[in-house]
Amino acid sequence: MKALTPWQPRPLLTLRHEMNDLFKRFFGEALDSGDLAVDAWAPSVDVEETDKEIVIKADLPGVEPKDVDISVVDNTLVLKGEKKEERETKKKNYHRTERFVGQFYRQVPLPPGADPDKISASSSKGVVTITVPKTAAAQPKKITVQSRD
């Protein structure tokens, strides 16, 4: 018996699976298959570079500082950890508990001249700020222009 639809759903399913795989690889799947889950999420980060340092701000609302792991591997800053959240609502007719547990992972390549030995990090109101100073050799040198008049 012939299908009544002018198109076959198989190619669309294949395309859908390929697109899902693409988005997982690009946005969420951990690249190192170590201790991270397949469905890790990547927090939003802002990276700002000044003459003396690189400042990285990562949005991690609800994540305790003890649950954040920051390291440098091959001139790449690696930010990973786990978010644990639990909400409980008790009303007259019902009791609801919601839990969320998920791992996060983000890599930020460091430019030449970054000093990984002097990195500092702090957390305030759900934002982790990581400061990577530059070596003296990597900082721009000011040259004054002298007048010959």
pTM of the model: 0.62
Question: Could you tell me which CATH number the domain at 9-138 has?
Answer: 2.60.40.790
Residues 6+ apart with CB under 8 A from 38: 24, 29, 30
Per-residue pLDDT reduced to its tens digit, 76-129: 999 999 888 788 888 888 888 887 778 888 899 988 888 988 999 999 988 999
What is the layout of strands, in order, in the sheet containing 45-49?
A: 45-49, 53-59, 127-133, 120-124
pLDDT classification of 30: cutoffs 50, 70, 90 = very low
Q: What is the pLDDT of residue 26?
A: 66
Q: How far apart are CA 112 and CA 65, in angstroms?
A: 28
Mean of per-residue pLDDT scores for the chain: 80
Cβ-proximal residues to 111 (8 Å cutoff; 6+ apart), any chain:
49, 54, 138
Tell me what pLDDT residue 33 has.
40
Burial (CB < 10 A; 0-12, 13-18, 19+), residue 102, is middle
Average pLDDT over residues 16-27: 74
Q: Is the dihedral of CA 30, 35, 112, 58 positive or negative?
A: positive
**Per-residue pLDDT averaged across 2-20, rounded?**
64
Q: What is the CB neighbour count within 10 angstroms for residue 60?
A: 22
Token pair of 113 as six digits: 């001249």
In this prediction, residue 37 carries a pLDDT of 40
